[in-house]
Amino acid sequence: MAKILMVTTSSYELNEYQKTGLWVSEFTEPYLEFKNAGHEVTVASAEGGNVPLDPNSLEEDAPEEWREVMKLLSDTPSVSEFNAKDFDGVFLPGGHGTMLDLPDNESLQSLLKETAEEDKAIGAVCHGPAGLVGVTLSDGTPLVNGKRVTSFKNDEEKEMKVYEKVPFLLESRLEELGATFTSGENFTDHVEVDGKLVTGQNPQSSIQTAKEFLNVLS
């Protein structure tokens, strides 16, 4: 049994006109994959407390097991309460909210730096890789430098009509940091694995990203 820490956004507003938050399926689907595989999962958020949910990700006909898992989001501890040594891997679900509060979260940066330098698994899906862009290793290189990665891509932002609303373009930022960015067609399942780093492109990639993350853990 492995110990996995999942860290979500705490941001609820992309701008004064548009609500955002955690994309529900990118949390529930990986969480269930991890639990059904017999692992211990701890859920935290950038600031602690209630996790905001992107209204566009709420599904009226969501499976009942999703509803049970979502109850964990009503009162989360802050990521600042945890240390990398206590977990075998860290997983970052997405949602546009991640682009607002994960890149500059010093507690998350420290935790991911230690996780990487201890050669433990790191996973992130869709906008979850926004949590990777502020992480610098002890030798001064960005965590993603020289890594094959994927994330929600620029063309998908355009198709969602938020290209000019996001604080930065995640695909472009990852490339600026020295990552080799790969992607599939818009809104199709695509996952990259480079060593202990696992990234998924979009909500359609959530389950496969979780499965590959578990493969890396094992």
Write down the domain spans for the chain.
3-217
* pTM assigned to the model: 0.98
Question: Residue with structure tokens 């430098």?
Answer: 145
Instruction: Write down how long the chain is.
Output: 218
Q: Which two tokens stand for residue 119?
A: 């050669």
Say how far apart CA 23 and CA 57 lie, in whole Å.
5
Segment 23-82, tens digit of pLDDT = 999 999 999 999 999 999 999 999 999 999 999 999 888 899 999 999 999 999 999 999
Q: CB-based burial of residue 154 (10 Å sphere; 0-12 exposed, 13-18 middle, 19+ buried)?
A: middle
At 8-20, the pLDDT tens digits run 999 999 887 899 9
Contact 40, 85 (CB under 8 A): no
pLDDT in tens, 78-117: 999 999 999 999 999 999 999 999 999 999 999 999 999 9
Does the domain made of 3-217 have the CATH classification 2.40.128.20?
no
| pLDDT > 70: percent of the chain | 100
190 Ramachandran zone, left/alpha/beta (phi>0; psi -120 to 50): beta
User: 192-212 burial by CB neighbour count: b if 16+ within 10 A, else e?
Assistant: bbeebbbbbbbbbbbbbbbeb
Collapse the DSSP code of 149 into the 3-class scheme (helix H, G, I; strand E, B; otherwise coil) and give the result.
Answer: strand
